[in-house]
Structure 1
Amino acid sequence: MGAVSAVFLVLITILLPPVGAYIVAGCGADLLINICLTLLGYIPGHIHAFYLEYVYYERKESARQGRFTATRAPGVYSERVQSGGHGYGTMVQPVN
């Protein structure tokens, strides 16, 4: 089921990058950045949306395997993307 949803998300992102960013990151700073980049040019919006999706699925797979990446991905402001969808108290954040 995960591979099918990822392919569907990529197809949506090819057509409308802000919709793909919204599905992964929700309504927040990343969506606003993606809308602005898409208005500036279609390609920067794609790059940002695909970067968000890459970070999300990479962190989701790491969490599934029991590994947690303590460093934050640069340019990503959504906690949902940073944690791979496993936020809201389900993972203990490292103390710096």
Structure 2
Amino acid sequence: MALTCSDIFKFFFAVILPPLGVMFEKGCGCDFVINICLTCLGYIPGIIHAFYIILKY
């Protein structure tokens, strides 16, 4: 799996605000809602989930 230039910006936004990185990758769907919930429960789980989504797709 190759990383593109846009992935660098997605990772940056995922560290600053994890749901934003997921929204740029997948849009406003189920993964976005899950990431909002994880970010509310804890900032680190939100970042981990955002990185997972960005690397998976």
TM-score by length of 1: 0.54
The question of 1:50 aligning with 2:44 is answered no
Unaligned runs of 5+ residues in structure 2 are: none
Higher RCO (CA-CA < 8 Å; seq separation 6+): 2
Runs of 4+ in 1 over 2 A off after TM superposition: none
For the pair shown, the structure with the greater C-alpha radius of gyration is: 1
What's the Cα RMSD here?
Answer: 1.1
Greater helix proportion = 2
State how far apart, in whole Å, the 2-side matches of 1:8 and 1:30 are.
Answer: 19
Identity, % of aligned pairs?
51
How many residue pairs get matched? 55
The question of 1:16 aligning with 2:17 is answered yes
State how far apart, in whole Å, the 2-side matches of 1:29 and 1:38 are.
Answer: 14
Unaligned runs of 5+ residues in structure 1 are: 57-96
